[in-house]
Amino acid sequence: GSTLIVTIDGPAGVGKSTMAKALARHLSIPYLDTGAMFRSVAWKLGEGAWEWDEARLQAALDTIEYSLSGIGQDSVLSLNGTVIGDEIRTEEVGMWASNVATLPVVRTFLKKAQQDLGARFSLVAEGRDMGTVIFPDAPHKFFLDASVEERAVRRFKQLSAMGKPADVEELREQIARRDHQDRNRAVAPLKPADDAVVIDTTDLDKGQVLAALKEGVA
Angstrom distance (rounded) from CA 217 to CA 122: 13
CB 191 to ligand C5P: min, Å: 12
Q: Please identify, using beta-carbon distances, which residue of 140 and 178 lies nearer to ligand C5P.
A: 178
CB 101 to ligand C5P: min, Å: 3
CB 127 to ligand C5P: min, Å: 2
Q: Is 31 in the site for ligand C5P (CB under 6 A)?
A: no
Q: Is 94 in the site for ligand C5P (CB under 6 A)?
A: yes
Q: Is 101 in the site for ligand C5P (CB under 6 A)?
A: yes
3-state helix, strand, coil in the chain (%, to 5): 50, 15, 30
Angstrom distance (rounded) from CA 53 to CA 198: 38
User: Total number of residues binding ligand C5P (CB under 6 A)?
Assistant: 14
Q: Please identify, using beta-carbon distances, which residue of 28 and 103 lies nearer to ligand C5P.
A: 103
Amino acid symbol at 202: T
User: Which residues lie closer than 8 Å to 109 by C-beta, 6 or more apart?
Assistant: 41, 58, 61, 64
Q: Is 182 in the site for ligand C5P (CB under 6 A)?
A: yes
| DSSP state letter for 217 | H
Angstrom distance (rounded) from CA 188 to CA 86: 26
Q: Is 12 in the site for ligand C5P (CB under 6 A)?
A: yes
Query: In this chain, which of 45, 97, 123, 144 binds ligand C5P, going by CB under 6 A?
Result: 97
Angstrom distance (rounded) from CA 152 to CA 158: 10
Q: Which residues bind ligand C5P (CB under 6 A)?
A: 12, 34-35, 38-39, 94, 97-98, 101, 127-129, 178, 182
